[in-house]
Amino acid sequence: MGLQERDAGAVGVTTRIGQAVLLHHGGDREEARGRFLGLWQEIGADGDAFHRCALAHYLADTQDDPADELAWDLRALSAAEELMEAVRSLYPSLHLNVAADYAKLGCPEAARSHLHRARRAAQDLPADSYGTRVREEIRELEAGLEP
């Protein structure tokens, strides 16, 4: 599947979630629940974490049984934690990029501040190729900023 097809599919899921939310808010709880469940089956329990989080969150609101509502809310929370972990792994690189930008603009103190944040965030990265590369780039930029 190409990037455009995947992006179109993601937009399609997001749009269909929104449509089901409108049904639910309009009072058609059963139809909304059915659509949410159909989408859940489509994306699967291992599908995109954002979609799982949104679907489970909204599905919880359509449940009659409090135990079922809890189960869906727990699924939403679990997916949200996956999202947070994914975003957290970007912080070292994001701070490194900002530091490099400040260095290019001749603002070494601002660059050092973001390098400090990048270094601290990089401690949580695994010792894989991405983590190793980010840590090396942090060291290289730090060396380039030394007086």
What pLDDT score was predicted for residue 7? 46
The answer to whether the Cα torsion of 89, 93, 96, 97 is positive or negative is negative
What pLDDT score was predicted for residue 10? 63
What pLDDT score was predicted for residue 11? 67
Per the confidence metrics, is the pTM higher than 0.75? Answer: no
What are the DSSP calls for 51-92, one per residue?
HHHHHHHHHHHT-SSHHHHHHHHHHHHHHHHHHHHHHHTTHH
What pLDDT score was predicted for residue 8? 47
Query: Residue 86 to residues 17, 25, 74, 82, 142: CA-CA distances in angstroms?
Result: 22, 31, 19, 6, 26
Residue stretches of the chain with pLDDT short of 50: 1-8
The answer to whether the Cα torsion of 50, 54, 68, 33 is positive or negative is negative
Nearest alpha carbon to residue 119 among 137, 100, 143 = 137
What pLDDT score was predicted for residue 88? 87
Cα separation, 66 vs 87, whole angstroms: 31
Tokens coding 68: 């079922």
Write the DSSP symbol of residue 16.
H
What pLDDT score was predicted for residue 64? 96
Tokens coding 111: 């660059």
What pLDDT score was predicted for residue 86? 82
What are the φ and ψ backbone dihedral angles of 145, each rounded to 5 degrees? -95, -10
What pLDDT score was predicted for residue 108? 95
What pLDDT score was predicted for residue 22? 97
8: how many CB neighbours lie within 10 A of its CB? 12
